[in-house]
């Protein structure tokens, strides 16, 4: 594990030390010791938040996923959906990733090699994403679950918090039936997840897929 001092993290992100402290307090950046921040968490923050655009609410972020996936986003009012469609016509893939980042709270862990299939059974995750996006298969585990289930899943599978770990849990308050439906409608949701990756090939594959989705949406 590598780490940065608060002032170094602030310089790398182009923000104040007070802002870094706020991000640590909110759990966005991970503090490893007093005055020290996990460097990988800083890199992930910088990757997703390229500009100063505010994130959408969780409901709006999922609305964007639904609209671009061809679903109805019925939990939003018609006026809200209309405004969101107009915004989506103006966004690039990078901007979309930044805007929709709060659709889930993302935490990463390391796990025993035997936990894989049992852990996957408790998560909502897309199938054959690597093949559909031209990537090689990996042993990484990445999926959605309810915010109320995180503690139980972590405990049952002996997960250990690690920003460089191969298990990614995305906790949301949205219905998992909805997430499962959107996950099965194509690669849009998986592409948004990959576009947040620190791996250059994964991020590029995600952004390329989002570019295609936005082009199709623009008509």
Is the Cβ–Cβ distance between 202 and 79 less than 8 Å? no
Is the Cβ–Cβ distance between 102 and 158 less than 8 Å? no
Give the predicted TM-score (pTM) of the model. Answer: 0.84
Angle between helices 78-88 and 58-68 (to 10 degrees): 70
CB neighbour list of residue 149: distance below 8 Å, 6 or more residues apart: 122, 171
Is the Cβ–Cβ distance between 127 and 190 less than 8 Å? no
Q: Please give the torsion angle defined by the CA atoms of residues 200, 171, 163 and 202, in that order, rounded to the nearest 10 degrees.
A: -10
- HSE of 96, CA atoms in CB hemisphere, 13 A: 33
Residue-wise pLDDT for 131-162, tens only, equals 888 888 888 999 999 999 999 999 999 999 98
Tell me what pLDDT residue 51 has: 55
Instruction: Supply angle C-alpha 170, 205, 99, rounded to 5.
Output: 50
Residues in the chain with pLDDT < 50? none
């Amino acid at each position: 594990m590598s780490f940065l001092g608060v002032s170094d993290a602030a310089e790398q992100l182009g923000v104040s030390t007070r802002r870094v402290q706020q991000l640590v307090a909110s759990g966005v950046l991970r503090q490893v010791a007093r005055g020290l921040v996990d460097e990988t968490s800083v890199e992930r923050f910088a990757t997703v938040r390229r500009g100063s655009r505010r994130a959408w609410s969780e409901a709006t972020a999922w609305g964007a996923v639904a609209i671009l996936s061809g679903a109805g986003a019925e939990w939003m009012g018609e006026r809200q959906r209309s405004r969101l469609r107009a915004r989506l016509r103006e966004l690039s893939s990078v901007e979309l990733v930044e805007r929709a980042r709060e659709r889930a709270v993302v935490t990463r862990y390391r796990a025993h090699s035997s936990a894989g299939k049992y852990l996957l059974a408790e998560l909502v995750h897309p199938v054959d994403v690597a093949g559909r996006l031209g990537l090689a298969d990996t042993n990484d585990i990445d999926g959605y679950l309810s915010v109320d289930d995180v503690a139980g899943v972590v405990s049952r599978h002996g997960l250990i918090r690690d920003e460089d770990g191969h298990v990614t849990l995305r906790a949301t308050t949205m219905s998992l039936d909805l997430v499962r439906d959107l996950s099965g409608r194509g690669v849009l949701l998986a592409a948004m997840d990959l576009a947040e990756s620190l791996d250059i090939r994964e991020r590029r594959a995600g952004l390329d897929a989002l570019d295609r989705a936005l082009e199709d949406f623009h008509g």
